[in-house]
Structure 1
Amino acid sequence: MKDEWKLESVPLKALSELVDHVANQKSGKLYLYRGQNVDAPLLPKVAREYRTYDSTEAEKRVLSELRLHGHMLLDKQLDDWALLCIAQHHGAATRLLDWSTNPLVGLWMALADRPAPSVKSVFVYVFEVETDWILSNEDSPNPFEITRTRVLRPPLNNTRVAAQSGWFTAHRFSKPAQQRHAFIPLEKQSDYSEKLMRFVVPTAHRHAILKQLDKLGVNAQTMFPGLEGLCKHMSWRYDCELDDDVW
């Protein structure tokens, strides 16, 4: 059964509306942005299909494999948090959920992939973060022992993290006394739900907004430094030429 959303949802049809939102933010507060092209709960990749599966041991094996087979490519001094961030940014299923401090990055991520014809809207989530939610050096050195969902600023040891102004929410596998054990979507957690809202972006405006973002330097080439991003950007520019003929 589909989750019932209780978040404030605001329509967004132009890039200028997002800029106005940023201009009206509270001074001194941290805001994170996440783009999604599906209307789905705010859950990390490891929990999207089976929320009630405790992935702890599987994730620990991923870190062990990285240390064993990636030792020529990785700093041997990396702790589990830093290694988990690297695994996340290279496609492994982890308990981390991607966010950005840059609202333009969140909007681009929501629109980057061409949606199916049946998809009419994509989403940009905004999360107002309280200072005591941010993981500090004095907190748990073990990602699998946190007692609540935390906000993590990753080390700048990855070009994609830097390019995307990346942050994460680190989700825990909840084991309440009287309920079924599970990963709980961020919007269903009482501490955080009131600090979340989302923009609903009609896909009819996708083409125009992506072209505006490109003029501001937000595109596949800047989001994914290297040959992969360059090729994706060239592909998008070719698609744009086709779209311009249509539009």
Structure 2
Amino acid sequence: MKKFESELFENAFEPETFLELMELATSNIGNEHNQVKPIRMWRGQGDIRWAINSGAYRRIYESKIKGMLSGSFKSMADRDIVEEEDVSSYESILINQAKHKGFHYIDGKIISDFELLARLQHHGAATRLVDFSKNLLVSLWFCVDSSPNETGLLLGLLNTNFGGDIEDSIMHTKTDYQQFVENLKAFSHPLFIEPPIVSSRISSQHGVFLYSDVVHEKTGSLKLGTYTQGRLFIAVSPSLKKVIRDILITTFDIRQRTLFPDFEGFCLSNSVENNIEAMLRQVKSE
């Protein structure tokens, strides 16, 4: 199979067809010595030139750039410095402000700091949590539905490359924020959690989160585990994006309307930015 030359993601494969991509994604790569079939978590993004950074990292990064341009920083190198302390301090403020608004009360019950952080992430706030999915096709949609003229990335991370909770469990999240972050540096891999806040959107997207302390790797600020064979990077060309997007809509009913089935998602899918054809499950023949 063709290899794609990526500055960030070494040994990326570039399939030429949907079937070739599926064969690659369901292969035993990185799991050759294990009789159990590989389990991967998936992430799709529209541009392979984007590093794997959390929303919190990107928000702080943008703030530092603005500070640099306004003269608050001494050198160009400052724009690349986002440390774990920056993210921890930012998230502490975010959580305290959310609590002040009463957002830590759900149905009359107080949720933990981590559950509040997950809820904030789910509704669009920038946190250290990075969205992944247990469903390859869902992540593939997020890869092909944006930046149509750019090569996208589908990342598959083998379960040997992350730790934390098991599926359908939130064992390690019933803590305050300081307990949550204090041991992150001890791990060489990201930690896994299924969002504890139940919603139709999370269910439809088979959504999970991966998170870690801040690192400065070529691939981004999220740890991806030290077992390099456990990382599967798949480049999706602009021409293949178009083909796959049509297949996901017509064959698998994966589209914006089904991945965002709540009221907010319904309105978003019917906004002025979306073609009116998106109201129906159809694509035009060439």
User: What TM-score do the two structures reach when normalised by structure 1?
Assistant: 0.78
Contact between 1:151 and 1:168, CA under 8 Å: does it hold in 2? yes
Contact between 1:120 and 1:204, CA under 8 Å: does it hold in 2? no
Which residue pairs with 1:223 in the alignment?
259
Which residue pairs with 1:60 in the alignment?
92
Q: How many residues get paired?
A: 233
Structure 2 residue 44 is the aligned partner of structure 1 residue 35 = yes
Contact between 1:152 and 1:169, CA under 8 Å: does it hold in 2? yes
Q: How far apart are 1:140 and its partner, in Å?
A: 8.2
Matches within 5 A, 1:7-22: 7-22=10-25
Contact between 2:200 and 2:261, CA under 8 Å: does it hold in 1? yes
Structure 2 residue 15 is the aligned partner of structure 1 residue 5 = no
Q: How far apart are 1:17 and its partner, in Å?
A: 2.6
SS, match of residue 191 in structure 1: coil
Which residue pairs with 2:144 in the alignment?
111
Which residue pairs with 2:192 in the alignment?
151
Q: What is the RMSD computed on CA atoms of the aligned residues?
A: 3.3
Contact between 1:63 and 1:83, CA under 8 Å: does it hold in 2? yes
Which residue pairs with 1:177 in the alignment?
none
SS, match of residue 125 in structure 2: coil
In terms of Rg, which structure is larger?
2
Distance 1:211 1:232 in 2: 20
| Higher relative contact order, structure no. (Cα contacts within 8 Å, ≥ 6 residues apart) | 1
Distance 1:225 1:37 in 2: 22
Which residue pairs with 2:236 in the alignment?
201
Contact between 1:156 and 1:162, CA under 8 Å: does it hold in 2? no
Distance 1:92 1:173 in 2: 18
* Residue type of the alignment partner of 1:111: V
Contact between 2:112 and 2:174, CA under 8 Å: does it hold in 1? no
Change (3 A) 1:228 1:98: same
Matches within 5 A, 1:87-236: 87-115=120-148, 119-130=149-160, 133-135=163-165, 137=171, 141=175, 142-145=179-182, 146-147=184-185, 148=187, 149-173=190-214, 185-186=221-222, 191-215=226-250, 216-233=252-269, 235-236=274-275
Cα-to-partner distance string for 1:49-87 (whole Å, 9 max, x where unaligned): 355241212211212222232448735332122211111
User: What TM-score do the two structures reach when normalised by structure 2?
Assistant: 0.69
